[in-house]
Amino acid sequence: MTIGRFFEDFQLGERISHATPRTLTEGDAALYLALYGSRYPQYCAAPYAIACGFARTPLDPLLVFHVAFGKTVPDISLNAVANLGYADVRFLEPVFAGDTVFVDSKVIGLKENSNGKTGVVYVQSHAQNQHGNPVLQWQRWVMVHKRDPQTPTGHQHVPKLKTALTAAELPVPNGLRVPDRQDHYTASKKTARDYQIGEVINHGGGITLGDSDHMLATRLYQNNARVHFDAAYMQQQPAGQRLIYGGHIMSLVQALSYTGFENALWLAGFNSGVHANPSFAGDTICAHSVIREISVTDNGIGALRIVSFGQKVASNNTRPDQLFELIDSQTLPADIVLRWDYWLVTA
Amino acid sequence: MTIGRFFEDFQLGERISHATPRTLTEGDAALYLALYGSRYPQYCAAPYAIACGFARTPLDPLLVFHVAFGKTVPDISLNAVANLGYADVRFLEPVFAGDTVFVDSKVIGLKENSNGKTGVVYVQSHAQNQHGNPVLQWQRWVMVHKRDPQTPTGHQHVPKLKTALTAAELPVPNGLRVPDRQDHYTASKKTARDYQIGEVINHGGGITLGDSDHMLATRLYQNNARVHFDAAYMQQQPAGQRLIYGGHIMSLVQALSYTGFENALWLAGFNSGVHANPSFAGDTICAHSVIREISVTDNGIGALRIVSFGQKVASNNTRPDQLFELIDSQTLPADIVLRWDYWLVTA
Amino acid sequence: MTIGRFFEDFQLGERISHATPRTLTEGDAALYLALYGSRYPQYCAAPYAIACGFARTPLDPLLVFHVAFGKTVPDISLNAVANLGYADVRFLEPVFAGDTVFVDSKVIGLKENSNGKTGVVYVQSHAQNQHGNPVLQWQRWVMVHKRDPQTPTGHQHVPKLKTALTAAELPVPNGLRVPDRQDHYTASKKTARDYQIGEVINHGGGITLGDSDHMLATRLYQNNARVHFDAAYMQQQPAGQRLIYGGHIMSLVQALSYTGFENALWLAGFNSGVHANPSFAGDTICAHSVIREISVTDNGIGALRIVSFGQKVASNNTRPDQLFELIDSQTLPADIVLRWDYWLVTA
């Protein structure tokens, strides 16, 4: 049975070409809509996408992320104890229906933990399309089991990771522009200038998670991590039940955030993402965001650096006015399942 | 948090352009099939659709309806107490994969209720495609909260609504015809002449509802009414659980009705639709129909005015022979979740 | 209410043209991925499919099988007591998005059971595409109720069925070839020469079944057998709950088998399939395969005859080393839900 790589199986500088390239289609886009219900028109309305300067309707960048991420699972994290974090995630070019995504990774860091049982693997991953153009890059680090806890590997290389992209570094799709009469299509006149640093936005709504939903999603991404699919196995584990793929929560939060960020044009990248607590079927997730940085330009295109929180609805929920203090904290309350620091290019 | 408009926020004659136009694709059509299992070949078999005179495979009219309806939710019914009814729903032109639907509404009536707490809003909605051609129109009325129960608005305008389309008013797609050897594709030789007024048809089968199913559907339609998605919120409400979007039941009933209406060519419109009782996950729905009017013409294309009932399977179910008496009744038994009066253009 | 044909309704030699031809699309392919999570790149990555010699990305043969099979249900097995078996299933040509499948069957055997209550109907079914080319053929036999247990029909015709295809009989798509650098796309260098007869492969993983999942699948296939959908009806039956369509388990097993058969190029056909025990929502399915025959050729394309087992995870599971003894046994242990004997064309 394939159980994935152990810490000893990784080499610093090693390049891994991940199996099963994937052609994304309108079918994937429809499923993505059904899974999350996003209402951003650039991802579901061709005339609006074209008015924004896209050649045609781009696929939601998070759909591309999840599929590309899924490719890395068999080689990087099938045997992971925990997905520890992401950094420097950049959506370099739109991906369109019909495009094929190829994914590879390079091992950029290896650090054995002091207990000898586990180590942390750092990878830089890239997705490119069938023309060889890079469409997405990201770093992540995972804790994996050692095969042999008795024999130290000596690996102590921790790479220097980017803590955050600056506004000037954000990838912006060629030709991106604010459409005429944007508010006619989005029901909002808000631009980057209308937000304030420190402002907390309640995105409203709330979505209750189900096992069929998240399994459909995670299979669509061809992510084969057993923890998401096998209830019999998970009953033997501390969680006691299937874990929901963390990216599923990101997508739910992004879909809910349409109410509040209606005129966003492009998810340019993310600075970090923390799956602070696990999510399970039956949990209800709501979303709040803190505005962290605002960038405005002369050409009408701005950018918001946002920290969004996916929150499990519970009796003692963290209050919105407490969220600003949590945007960099090391620990997070039990009701916070996601803290996600990212940049939206917006009107 | 966006909670939708209150009664005071509507003005008689106001026009609302709804956000998020939507390009429908083959992906939506596949999901619609997976959600309901319809076997009408004109919506899933290109050679048959073309033999019927369509340019290519049309999307199921109810898929178009649900998507167009979903667009109106944030502006019209997010704050609704109840969806009271539909009238004069007309499917004016087929919508094909690749078409984009734009939706707007006009407020045609406002009537404050005597308790001062709520009012009824009547809207006339239109969907048009990317060529500016109207593809769908409908009226509906919803009860919404007043912001201020103490201050009367004086609104007492109830519009005159059409109670039913006549056969002569039905929109029929250009070039629609009965295909040669239709029974070869549908397994039925029945035409409009083979039905009798008052006849009750049991469509067989029965489908048990699940929360993942109806949430996938309702998200696909980008309908963001919280009552369908948020179990935590609904536990505080009288229903105690997520309500299933009423249109989901319509689509199930239509899919089941293939057994009985095999040679139907086009859902031309509906006269009324009553979601008489709520549906929840776990309910099993079966479908019966009463033939109300029959129209036959010389060119082989007829029409049936039908009243279909979605029925929750229960120990004391309303008997089929009791349904004819219920086609216009003000009240409906607890096992009837849908009464739907509509016209099918058929061989 | 349509309850399907009784034994007396079939005639030896009768040809039945099944209703509702079906155009398959990229939407169906995306849903199929979401339902099973298969990672075989020839079905999801256009550049790889083309490198394998396909004109474009073929649809997964099992998707085609399930859809074609679903067409036969209303005429053959709606009134079935049991689906007894399949034989001589051949995937003659790839089916691509946009193709339409037409299905017909011929009654090739009728055998009344000695109790007079039921009989076995044997059919030879064919699916052809819109060009009239056969794409799939199969035999199956089902036990159906007699309308009148008192009156014998005298039918005792059992056809001679093929027990297994030989390697020489396997349909191989025109132009099929092993792509250069196949292992770059599949992460495996294995070819037919690397397997051994009698070898047992554990495909790893395990997937827990859900009612929403299998109902979405079975509706997508337009299979309207009530046993899969109607929980209220099934509570009255011995099973007590909805039965999962047997083909759903085949597809799960095939998807899991990517780990082990990474370089398979084409599911050429199956020799037999036994749904030995029912599957229900909540069951967790894992997969093991026994290598039964190996065919190698000079042109680099080989074939594996495989017997795969879908196994319900339970406390007293059949051990992998016991599976070889079960490849032809008349009875199977309670944890085996599928025994499937088929041929994979592979590098």
Q: Which residues of B touch A244 (CB under 8 A)?
A: none
pLDDT digits (tens, 9 = 90+) for C88-138: 999 999 999 999 999 999 999 999 999 999 999 999 999 999 999 999 999
CA distance C43 to chain A (A): 9
Residue burial B240-266, b: 16+ Cβ < 10 Å; e: rest: ebbbbbbbbbbbbbbbbbbbbbbbbbb
Biggest alpha carbon–alpha carbon distance for chain C: 66
Q: Which residues of A touch B224 (CB under 8 A)?
A: 37, 39, 205, 259
pLDDT at A295 over 90: yes
* Closest alpha carbon to C285 in C256, C254, C312: C312
Cβ <8 Å between A231 and C208: yes
CA distance A141 to chain C (A): 22
CATH, residue B143: 3.10.129.10
Per-residue pLDDT, B213: 95
Per-residue pLDDT, A82: 84
Interface of A with C (CB under 8 A): 1-3, 17-23, 25-28, 30-31, 74-75, 98, 100, 130, 210-212, 215-220, 222-224, 226, 229-233, 242
Q: Which residues of C touch A74 (CB under 8 A)?
A: 187
CA distance A191 to chain C (A): 35
Cβ <8 Å between A46 and B23: yes
Per-residue pLDDT, A1: 43
Residues contacting residue B301 through CB under 8 Å, at least 6 positions apart: B172, B176, B177, B178, B265, B345, B346, B347
- Which pair of tokens denotes residue C279? 């599957």
Q: Which residues of B touch A254 (CB under 8 A)?
A: none
Cβ <8 Å between B130 and A33: no
HSE (side-chain half, CA atoms, 13 Å) at A89:
24
Look over chain C and give the mean of its residue pLDDT values, rounded to a whole number.
96
Per-residue pLDDT, C96: 98
Per-residue pLDDT, C1: 43
- Extended beta strands in chain A, E state: 15-17, 22-23, 80-91, 100-112, 118-128, 134-145, 156-157, 200-202, 207-208, 264-274, 284-295, 302-312, 336-346
Report the residue of C23, C38, C44, C48 to disrupt the A interface, i.e. the one with the largest count of A CBs within 10 Å: C44
- Extended beta strands in A209-299, E state: 264-274, 284-295
Last residue of a domain, one of C101, C134, C162: C162
State whether C247 and C156 are in the same domain.
Answer: no
CA distance B68 to chain C (A): 21
Q: State the average pLDDT over residues C66-90.
A: 94
Domain presence at residue C32? no
Residues contacting residue B141 through CB under 8 Å, at least 6 positions apart: B84, B85, B109, B120, B121, B122, B123, B161
Last residue of a domain, one of B144, B162, B180: B162
Neighbouring CB atoms inside 10 A of C155's CB total: 18
Rounded to an integer, what distance in angstroms lies between the CA atom of residue A40 and that of residue B20? 7
Q: Which residues of C touch A100 (CB under 8 A)?
A: 45-47
pLDDT at C3 over 80: no
Report CA A259 to chain centroid distance, whole Å.
19
State whether B192 and B125 are in the same domain.
Answer: no
> Is beta strand A302-312 parallel, antiparallel or unpaired with respect to C100-112?
unpaired
pLDDT band at B82 (very low <50, low <70, confident <90, very high): confident
Domain presence at residue C199? yes
Report the residue of C211, C216, C237 to disrupt the B interface, i.e. the one with the largest count of B CBs within 10 Å: C216
State whether B69 and B181 are in the same domain.
Answer: no
Domain presence at residue A37? no
pLDDT digits (tens, 9 = 90+) for A199-238: 999 999 899 999 999 999 999 999 999 999 999 999 999 9
Last residue of a domain, one of B162, B195, B216: B162
What residue in C sits closest to A21 (Cα-Cα)? C45
Q: In 3-state terms, what secondary structure has residue A331? A: coil
State whether B268 and B217 are in the same domain.
Answer: yes
Amino acid symbol at A265? L
pLDDT at C83 over 90: no
CA distance B293 to chain A (A): 37
pLDDT band at C82 (very low <50, low <70, confident <90, very high): confident
Per-residue pLDDT, A2: 55
CA distance A35 to chain C (A): 11
Neighbouring CB atoms inside 10 A of B297's CB total: 10
State whether C152 and C224 are in the same domain.
Answer: no
Report the residue of C5, C15, C18, C20 to disrupt the B interface, i.e. the one with the largest count of B CBs within 10 Å: C20
State whether B144 and B209 are in the same domain.
Answer: no
pLDDT at A240 over 50: yes
CB of B298 within 8 A of CB of B189? no
Domain presence at residue B48? no
Q: Which residues of B touch C251 (CB under 8 A)?
A: none
Taking chain B, what is the end-to-end CA distance rounded to the nearest angstrom?
50
Q: State the average pLDDT over residues A99-123.
A: 97
* Host H or E run for residue B266: strand B264-274
Q: Of the given ranges (A75-89, B83-97, B174-188), which has the lowest mean pLDDT?
A: A75-89
Cβ <8 Å between C1 and B185: no
Residue burial A147-168, b: 16+ Cβ < 10 Å; e: rest: eeeeeebebeeebebeebbebe
Q: Of the given ranges (A302-316, B71-85, C234-248), which has the lowest mean pLDDT?
A: B71-85
Interface of B with A (CB under 8 A): 1-3, 17-23, 25-28, 30-31, 74-75, 98, 100, 130, 210-212, 215-220, 222-224, 226, 229-233, 242
pLDDT at A277 over 90: yes
Look up the domain containing A204 and give its range.
166-347
pLDDT digits (tens, 9 = 90+) for B265-324: 999 999 999 999 999 999 999 999 999 999 998 788 999 999 999 999 988 899 999 999
Q: Which residues of A touch B21 (CB under 8 A)?
A: 41, 45, 47-48, 185
pLDDT at B138 over 60: yes
Q: State the average pLDDT over residues B89-118.
A: 97
Per-residue pLDDT, B270: 95
Interface of A with B (CB under 8 A): 25-31, 33-41, 44-48, 57, 184-188, 202-208, 210-213, 216, 259, 262, 282, 284, 313
CA distance C280 to chain A (A): 14
Per-residue pLDDT, B1: 43
Taking chain A, what is the end-to-end CA distance rounded to the nearest angstrom?
50
Q: Which residues of B touch A45 (CB under 8 A)?
A: 20-23, 100
Domain presence at residue B307? yes
State whether A106 and A74 are in the same domain.
Answer: yes
Domain presence at residue A141? yes
State whether A230 and A261 are in the same domain.
Answer: yes
pLDDT at B206 over 80: yes
Cβ <8 Å between A130 and C47: yes
State whether C158 and C277 are in the same domain.
Answer: no
* DSSP secondary structure letters along A30-41: HHHHHHH----G
Per-residue pLDDT, C2: 55
pLDDT at B2 over 60: no
Domain presence at residue C94? yes
CB of C51 within 8 A of CB of A100? no
Q: Which residues of C touch A3 (CB under 8 A)?
A: 204
Smallest Cβ–Cβ distance between A19 and the set C34, C39, C211 belongs to C39
* DSSP secondary structure letters along A159-192: ----S---GGG----TT--PPTTHHHHHS----G
pLDDT digits (tens, 9 = 90+) for B65-77: 999 999 999 999 9
Per-residue pLDDT, B21: 98
Cβ <8 Å between C284 and A216: no
State whether C235 and C314 are in the same domain.
Answer: yes
Rounded to an integer, what distance in angstroms lies between the CA atom of residue A136 and that of residue A159? 20
Q: Which residues of C touch B31 (CB under 8 A)?
A: 27, 31
pLDDT band at C305 (very low <50, low <70, confident <90, very high): very high
Residue A271: phi and psi, rounded to 5, are -90, -35
pLDDT at A49 over 70: yes
Q: How many domains does chain C have?
A: 2
C-alpha distance from residue C76 to each of A51, A299, B202, C73, C137 (Å): 52, 66, 21, 5, 16
Domain presence at residue C48? no
Q: Which residues of C touch A242 (CB under 8 A)?
A: 208
Look over chain B and give the mean of its residue pLDDT values, rounded to a whole number.
96
State whether B100 and B215 are in the same domain.
Answer: no
Q: In 3-state terms, what secondary structure has residue A208? A: strand
Q: In 3-state terms, what secondary structure has residue C277? A: coil
pLDDT at C312 over 70: yes
State whether A247 and A108 are in the same domain.
Answer: no
